[in-house]
Chain A
């Protein structure tokens, strides 16, 4: 609003023909360092670095308040805790980068463990079960993407519907039991076992996912197109970019990350319940990581570094909440407030343009 007003002022002034005033207002618009508003200066900061600093602060706070915080054991716990939603966040952030959002990602995570274990318990070889699940994830991601990109349904509606569809559908047509336990000799169980150079192996799984995301976002054409589609879909389309297939690809990637995260969580906890909800805490955690990590919900903005910093921040915060023995209810409330704060800051940094925003831009 403020910048729009300023533009109006400068046009009026230009009409009046006062050169010196025009000069000053142009400077204000262009943002000379001296006159930049707080918002402009904050917007220029690297959010990744900012969040890293905040995370550092949280760690310092934790070290002061909780005696058991700065121990190798606790670091391992934080890493375990972070791994699942960190991987999900990479998928979610890729979708958010294209100006979408994937609310079905947590459902896919639940579904992947359930389906694989159900198939295995029916006597199917594990690799085949995993292959089938990956195929199913491809279908689920494609359906999401097609609804969003081709049917032009708002991403939130589409994935809200499909999330509960996937979860409900699997419960109704496939599952027999209420709880599934992972056989200890399975391939999935091996995902998080072992260590390398004293570091748990699952650290490398997470690191590989983030590295993959970094390469995709920065060094591939597809990744750059994802960013430009999110930044301005109209321009991207007029440029001749294959916007629809690329958006579908983002949702497929997100579903694939959902499956991977599902296996990792299954591998860490050894069992999975059928009582997952469409709006599971995991979904909110993922969204929190993405928003805090500076992947703006307005699309096209953000970096992998920010995402990693956001993951670390949320991981440390969760860990501190647990160590300071907050009740689960208070934990939920705190998480909600943190996410709310992040959303408000995001909206403040990247406001919607009242001249071009549409009513259905939810």
Chain B
């Protein structure tokens, strides 16, 4: 199998809608709870809820307080200055740390730059350039302590908050008098009131840093290192990411930005004292948490964090405009911090669990009157006609759902271990593994060239050549537009048949669950399946969407239509694929007493079909009421779920008009506890069962055998004899 396989997506007409067959009101078309669950599982939901709440808070502040357009200038100035700190802290927190000292670092450069200029008479451009460097140096103290010496980030930066503030106090104490006298300087003026491309300097710096930081965090190797160190230190270390260096650099980065913010702050106000930038750490931390940056590291976005600071600045402006007491702002901040921190923790922890819990969304399905198969003397009456059919491959086979017989009488069948067996005809005594697929081959059919095509559960549709080579034909369809759930994969190809033009019709019983979870479909009772056509050129299209558990697929004797069995709706439908009625859907059988499985042509112009399960009054009742099933799926493990009676071996024969002709049973359930597919070839009816350890070989009464070769595709202009290719096809590398 080639590794880069891609199914070609065909551009066919819009698919027919199978939902109408359920007879349910239109509101049952959507499963809101399940859609909600699908949405919750999306990666973009991670930050969506905190961000939405933050945005709502912002709107609430703007609407409910006198904060208006006139405050925009002040708010944007504040945002630009605090935004730098927010970006730095986001990096540190995504890397799994925290930096409380940023306010003090900003204070050091704020008061330090003024001191250098006013007291030490250093040239101002040099001072301006030195500020980020000083910030980086102070940040590297944090980084070395935390990354190299292994101290705890929170307590370390809490202590450096105090220590750096000590520097500020010393500077203030020693140079307080000089600091009070403003000294003109072009650089100060430029920083405080200059513009670049029409933007004030602080805004310009902030926007440049924001864009760069976003690109670095999301698109660069170092940004990915930061994220992976924050997500899981151990994994990062074992993937030879230099954890210590990465952590160190986050603190240096944060310190650099804090140093720049300090410079901007003192340029903006033209003065600084010992309490400059006091309490900023709490403001910035609140903003970052509001913006959905996770406390536990590894998750967060610079852009979202900036939304957080907008909210915080709006709160601040509201408390200024409304002239509230000092305490109000800190109360609002701490309540916001606690609420959003709690939200982050609980949201991160319970989102998936909650989504999983509501992911199964059962719907009610009423069934028509139930035929009583226990009544003697009807066509349905139970018998033991199947019981004594001699076995094939007894003990060697595991789960041969379907089988197929070639021109020489050799038999091929699937196996749950991913194999296709070949039993030599005519006695089928000896068998061997003929091909390997990797999935569970279910339905089998001959294509026009005499090769096997098979629906492989969990893999897609394969073609098997006479030399045993298996080739993947298709495993994808076009994704439904606007569907939250990605339904592009063929999760469970079940049965298939080939039409006269060589296209393959395959039933995909669920676009939502795989083979191991098939009980979910039996419990949910929703139209989740579809019928897919694979054109001769290999492109795929959905022919019928929203079909409830499509199972058997069979080309009709005239080649103009396909018969499709709906396991959940106890019915068989006919889809016209050529001729005047092409595209129409017609009922063949409905209200059957069991859940139909594979359909295949019989030699006398009728059809054979099997039941995979039987309806009971009990199953009809619980299918009608979804609440009991909803509760069952929440409270019981899947093994304990109440499902339809799956142990059954019932084979029936019906004609084109939907008349039931004959029903064969193994009422003892001793030898054939489940028959899922039958094939009639040369007067012999072969019995397959997805849970059986054998196939069956039932010789039919000559009176009911016709002269149609069921291996030939009806209506096809030319069909090669099965497995007739004399020379094996060249195996491609």
Q: Which residues of A contact B (CB under 8 A)?
A: 101, 103, 147, 151-154, 156-158, 160-165, 167-172, 277-279, 284, 287, 297, 327-330, 332-337, 339-340, 343-344, 346-348, 351-352, 354-355, 357-362
Contact = CB atoms under 8 A, between A and B. Distances in A.
B295 interface: yes
A359 B232 contact: yes
Contacts of A277: 278-279
Contact of A287 (B96, B155, B172, B233): B155
Contacts of A362: 97-98, 152-154
B333 A360 contact: no
Nearest to A101: B155
Interface in B261-304: 274, 278-279, 282, 285, 295-298
Contacts, number: 161
Contact of A360 (B166, B279, B296, B328): B296
Contact of A332 (B166, B230, B325, B346): B166
A343 B170 CA distance: 23
A167 B330 contact: yes
Contacts of B338: 147, 153, 158, 161-162, 165
A279 to B, nearest CB: 7
Nearest to A281: B162
Given A147-B338, A172-B327, A329 B145 contact: no
12 contacts: A153-B341, A153-B345, A156-B155, A161-B337, A165-B330, A168-B329, A168-B330, A333-B167, A335-B162, A336-B165, A347-B152, A359-B231
Interface of B: 96-98, 145, 149-156, 158-163, 165-167, 169-170, 172-173, 229-234, 237, 274, 278-279, 282, 285, 295-298, 325-331, 333-335, 337-338, 341-342, 345-346
B331 A168 contact: yes
A24 B159 CA distance: 41
B170 to A, nearest CB: 4
Given A153-B295, A329-B170, 18 more contacts: A156-B98, A156-B155, A158-B341, A165-B330, A278-B282, A279-B162, A297-B152, A328-B173, A332-B165, A343-B155, A343-B159, A344-B151, A347-B150, A354-B234, A354-B237, A359-B230, A360-B295, A360-B297
A355 B159 CA distance: 27
B162 A336 contact: yes
Contact of A339 (B159, B274, B342, B345): B159
A347 B327 contact: no
B159 A340 contact: yes
B318 to A, nearest CB: 15
Contacts of B326: 171
Contacts of A168: 327-331, 334
A329 B166 contact: yes
Contacts of B151: 343-344, 346-347
A343 B152 CA distance: 8
Contacts of B170: 327, 329-330, 333
Would you list the 9 A-B pairs with minimal beta carbon distance, nearest first?
Answer: A333-B166, A336-B163, A359-B96, A329-B169, A171-B327, A360-B296, A168-B330, A359-B297, A172-B327
A359 B345 contact: no
A351 B282 CA distance: 28
A38 to B, nearest CB: 15
A169 B327 contact: yes
A152 B349 CA distance: 11
Contact of B145 (A334, A336, A340, A361): A340
B149 A152 contact: no
B149 A172 contact: no
Nearest to B340: A161
A352 B325 contact: no
Given A335-B162, A340-B145, A360-B96, A153 B154 contact: no
Contacts of A169: 327, 331
B341 A157 contact: yes
A151 B346 CA distance: 8
Nearest to B165: A332
Nearest to A331: B166
B434 to A, nearest CB: 44
Contacts of A162: 334, 338
B247 to A, nearest CB: 10
A171 B328 CA distance: 8
Contacts of B233: 354, 357-359
A227 B642 CA distance: 49
Nearest to B281: A279
A332 B295 contact: no
B331 A343 contact: no
B37 to A, nearest CB: 24
Contacts of B232: 359
A250 B102 CA distance: 31
Contacts of B155: 101, 156, 287, 297, 343
B299 to A, nearest CB: 11
A278 B282 CA distance: 10
Contacts of B96: 359-360
Of the candidates A170, A329, A346, the one having the most CB atoms from chain B within 10 angstroms of its own CB is A329
A359 B298 contact: yes
B325 A172 contact: yes
Contacts of A167: 327, 330
Nearest to B174: A329
A328 B169 contact: yes
Contacts of B234: 354-355
A354 B325 CA distance: 46
Contacts of B346: 151
B229 A359 contact: yes
A172 B325 CA distance: 7
B156 A153 contact: no
A337 B341 CA distance: 31
Given A330-B170, A333-B163, A153 B145 contact: no
B341 A161 contact: yes
Of the candidates B231, B282, B346, the one having the most CB atoms from chain A within 10 angstroms of its own CB is B282
A264 to B, nearest CB: 23
Contacts of B172: 329
Given A168-B327, A169-B327, A337 B149 contact: no
Contacts of B163: 333, 336-337, 340
A351 B330 contact: no
A97 to B, nearest CB: 15
A340 B327 contact: no
A251 to B, nearest CB: 15
A154 B158 CA distance: 15
Contacts of A154: 154, 295
Contacts of A103: 158
Nearest to A170: B327
Nearest to A348: B149
Nearest to B232: A359
Contact of A171 (B154, B160, B325): B325
A165 B346 CA distance: 21
B49 to A, nearest CB: 17
A172 B331 contact: yes
Contacts of B297: 359-360
A276 B325 CA distance: 15
B328 A172 contact: yes
Of the candidates A151, A154, A165, A334, the one having the most CB atoms from chain B within 10 angstroms of its own CB is A165
A284 B167 CA distance: 16
A355 B160 CA distance: 27
B173 A329 contact: yes
Contacts of A340: 145, 156, 159-160, 163
B344 to A, nearest CB: 9
Nearest to B342: A151
Nearest to B243: A354
Contacts of B278: 277
A24 to B, nearest CB: 27
